[in-house]
Amino acid sequence: DTAVSQTPKYLVTQMGNDKSIKCEQNLGHDTMYWYKQDSKKFLKIMFSYNNKELIINETVPNRFSPKSPDKAHLNLHINSLELGDSAVYFCASSKTGDRFEQYFGPGTRLTVT
Amino acid sequence: EDQVTQSPEALRLQEGESSSLNCSYTVSGLRGLFWYRQDPGKGPEFLFTLYSAGEEKEKERLKATLTKKESFLHITAPKPEDSATYLCAVQATGRRALTFGSGTRLQVQP
């Protein structure tokens, strides 16, 4: 199936730990994104990479570090997790051009205890 | 700053009862307005993109329209399987990121 996939789907961890979330897309897109969906269901952009280059870096604590080893993969590493980091994190991808439709992965629900 | 406001927050319909969802937006220059459907525990699923005022798009029982200030998602004769949260998002000229509204939770009862 052509899609955006994320692992893991669920992540439960304690405050202070370091964790990573992985994303892969096989749609042939060249731009990938990380969004955070809080308890009120707002989706907010965190980062975006285009051809492995960071192009969007919103106001996000520097404990969050994205990495894109190639156009098809985007990872998110979070250091020193805090309670407020609990949310659902979505990866998305799009293709540069006239239409910037973004396709989303299934999400990773992160719970920090 | 780009802003998107969706109303109502929640909507309960009987099967076959048509209605509309509203998305009001403020953006410096609109590149595109997007509608997504999100089911519980899943990622947003792309539905439509609208690029200019007056444009309309249709898919099954859904029809999206766009003016210079708002977009409507019309649902004609909805079925229970149309129950979901519908998200509206805008993309400003020169930006890649989408700015999302908080969504409308639609419940269609049989």
d(C-alpha B82, C-alpha B73), whole Å? 12
Percent above pLDDT 70 for chain B: 100
Q: What whole-number distance in Å separates Cα of residue A107 and Cα of residue B41?
A: 8
Residues 6+ apart with CB under 8 A from B31: A100, B51, B91, B92, B93, B94, B95
CB contact, 8 Å: A60 with chain B? no
Tens digits of per-residue pLDDT, A66-78?
999 999 999 999 9
Q: Note the pLDDT of residue B9.
A: 96
Q: What is the pLDDT of residue A101?
A: 87
Contact A105 B43 (CB under 8 A): yes
Query: CA separation (Å) from B37 to A87, A93, A111, B62, B110?
Result: 19, 16, 24, 11, 20
Model confidence pLDDT, tens digit, residues A20-74: 999 999 999 999 999 999 887 789 999 999 988 888 888 889 999 999 999 999 9
CA gap A60, A79 in Å, rounded: 12
Interchain pair A41, B102: CB under 8 A: yes
Q: Which residue of A has its CA nearest to B48?
A: A101
